[in-house]
Chains A and B, each alone.
Chain A
């Protein structure tokens, strides 16, 4: 049951930030559904909250709208998500500013639009096949973010500067992903170069650069990038790159090594590197998936199938990934003349275990 907002002193932090429910009406429940991948339930919950007029404050409406738009996007209902966003005025409208409601948000100013709405607004056209519109929106968003950073800097709002810089980094990474998907490799390299120049130099990013170089075929360039990552591991000081645990960092380096072997067709060595990763971290899905592929290239189709099946069995919530499932189905199609039955079994299992946003068409059943 929902509760009315607390009437005690709004300036007291524990009243405003004690739990998720302080941020928005029943936010904890929304968040819980989201982390279970129950996007259909989120759509229902939002619809119910609206029809029962449970959302009393402007920011509640916006946050619920954001979750709804996200859920529709996750369910691949991109047109519906788009229509939902279009029910809003211009994002920069005064309706969505804290200062427009001084009684509700005393001492607070600025935009209450959750940033994710801007991001989803930019990405949706790309998912709907309107590439140019989507890219234009992303680049405009980047410009918007950079203006915000300047504005916050000139007002000495250091925490906000940090948040907006993270958003800038985020949008640049999205752009790299989209250009990479369209095989615009030179542009990707330029964008990563841009990120590195802004001191976003980190081993995960440099590894991805190496992967892009590998994708292009610039093997020597990739090796150079991977060597750089290994140097970062060996030379790092105590709290450098703290977002990566020791295990994650070492696995990153091993996976990079494995890739170099794989590209050189030394699949035996690649398997060995991946096995080191899996031994250190049995949830390293990339190592598991790629090891299976190497086994197949070593003519060992049976074992490659076993590796993928075991991964799904033992760590389903991590291993359940569309790419891994596509690989497994390709292997089934090769191994069995009558593969429909085994694929159907897989499909049935997936339906029971998978989150709402899992694209089950990948089994090609």
Chain B
């Protein structure tokens, strides 16, 4: 809060940030009389056990009788939970505190007339100045305050959703006519800085047709953040499901399970929480999907709450998946037999898809010899090159490769390569596939 320079103005602004109040917590020195007036094991004595309670409870009533000038309530317990020091008494915000992007800035503004004379025709304005813009919060130009008497006050409350980082200034101005008939102008400035409350790191992994998005939210604020809602809004044609771990305490007493579910709280100053989403393309066959370049998956909408439910809201930028490169030809393995015996040939079912709008082929399929993994233990049985006929626009063709494994155990089928013999184009080989070779 700041006051006007002495002597020049009749009016002065007083400002108080009005974020939510907080509960006062202070475990007190409050006791039970039986813990103070007698030894702790005295109740083992049946005489004491019978006679002490009535004596002590009479004394308790006397000491806490509110009609008498007694402060017994400040040192005796009424209810065991009094020991918590958490009565539900609310405390006004005692300092400006930190303010973060996504929160709402709320302030009580009081304009006081601390002179001995009335002032008239007061036009009050409150604005927020950021690096990029000036936002008007209040303007009484159209209906000026007629007058404020000596010692009087005019109050208002302003709110502003904080959407920018960095330096902010609350500018309060009053244009008024003072007792001498002079028009005076009073500007007052209250500065504060807005910081970033969270950072979000994402990782994208694709497994077959499913994309997994892992989002890690880190809390940079000085308070714990209660994650009220963290929702992934998928881009068009994508659908998203959040994946959660199973309940960790299935053996919970049902009365406690009713009472509450464990909230997601991210610790202040660097705490993190991870979210996992499973994303699927809504219509995988749609040709529109195969657009070269970036692959936009969607955005994360985050709503958090701090003290007494004070909300904050942020949205991430668009999250990108792995880029799709234009593929003319797609080769995939559809089926491998579950039982593969040493030195016995087996058939692998493959599919070749033409993603272009023109006929391609004929093709040749073989196992490439440049093996990074040493000698090949899985080879083609028979002709080393398979010839496939042309495949029409957006068409596909199924075929089988006859392979044979020459070594036991975990082996790799590597280097299945396809090339277009007409266009003389060889495509990247298929990724290695592991198989398990058993003896007869």
Known: A196-B256, A297-B157, A301-B155. 6 other contacts (CB 8 A): A13-B50, A17-B52, A160-B41, A204-B81, A208-B84, A334-B1
Q: A13-B47, A318-B66 are in contact. Are A335 and B36 (CB under 8 A)?
A: no
What chain A residues lie within 8 Å of B256 (beta carbons)?
A: 193, 196-197
CB closest residue in chain B, given A91: B40
Q: Does A143 interact with chain B (Cβ within 8 Å)? A: no
CB pair B38 A23 closer than 8 Å: yes
Q: Which of B40, B79, B263, B268 contacts A113 (CB 8 A)?
A: B40
**What are 7 sample pairs from A and B whose C-beta atoms fall under 8 A apart?**
A70-B75, A98-B41, A201-B255, A262-B308, A299-B157, A327-B91, A334-B14
Report A120-137 residues with CB < 8 Å from chain B CB: 120, 123, 126
What chain B residues lie within 8 Å of A357 (beta carbons)?
A: 74-75
CB pair B36 A114 closer than 8 Å: yes
CB pair B226 A216 closer than 8 Å: yes
Report A15-60 residues with CB < 8 Å from chain B CB: 16-20, 23-24, 27, 31, 34-37, 59
What chain A residues lie within 8 Å of B81 (beta carbons)?
A: 173, 204-205, 208
Q: Which of B35, B37, B86, B268 contacts A119 (CB 8 A)?
A: B35
Q: Does B167 interact with chain A (Cβ within 8 Å)? A: no
- Bound complex: CA of A318 vs CA of B46, how far in Å? 37
Report A349-363 residues with CB < 8 Å from chain B CB: 355, 357
CB pair A180 B84 closer than 8 Å: yes
Least Cβ–Cβ distance between A173 and chain B, in angstroms: 4
CB pair A317 B69 closer than 8 Å: yes
CB pair B37 A166 closer than 8 Å: no
Q: Does B313 interact with chain A (Cβ within 8 Å)? A: no
**Contact bitstring B107-126, A, C-beta under 8 A = 1, else 0:** 01010101000000000000
Report A89-112 residues with CB < 8 Å from chain B CB: 96, 98, 107-112
**Contact bitstring A141-178, B, C-beta under 8 A = 1, else 0:** 00000000000100101011001001101100110111
For the residues of A in contact with B, the DSSP-based class is: helix
CB closest residue in chain A, given B28: A177
What chain A residues lie within 8 Å of B3 (beta carbons)?
A: 337
Q: A36-B71, A173-B81, A204-B81 are in contact. Are A113 and B39 (CB under 8 A)?
A: yes
What chain B residues lie within 8 Å of A163 (beta carbons)?
A: 34, 43
Report B52-90 residues with CB < 8 Å from chain A CB: 52, 55, 59, 62-64, 66, 69-90
Which 10 pairs across A and B sit closest by C-beta, in order of nearness? A110-B41, A217-B305, A112-B39, A217-B226, A177-B27, A159-B49, A177-B84, A17-B51, A37-B71, A35-B63
What chain B residues lie within 8 Å of A318 (beta carbons)?
A: 66, 73
Q: A113-B39, A317-B71 are in contact. Are A214 and B87 (CB under 8 A)?
A: no
Least Cβ–Cβ distance between A60 and chain B, in angstroms: 11
What chain B residues lie within 8 Å of A326 (beta carbons)?
A: 91-92, 94
Q: A218-B226, A221-B263 are in contact. Are A17 and B66 (CB under 8 A)?
A: no
What chain A residues lie within 8 Å of B307 (beta carbons)?
A: 215, 217
Q: Does A307 interact with chain B (Cβ within 8 Å)? A: no
CB pair A263 B92 closer than 8 Å: no
Stretch at the interface among B15-23, B279-287, B370-378: B15-23
CB pair B88 A224 closer than 8 Å: no
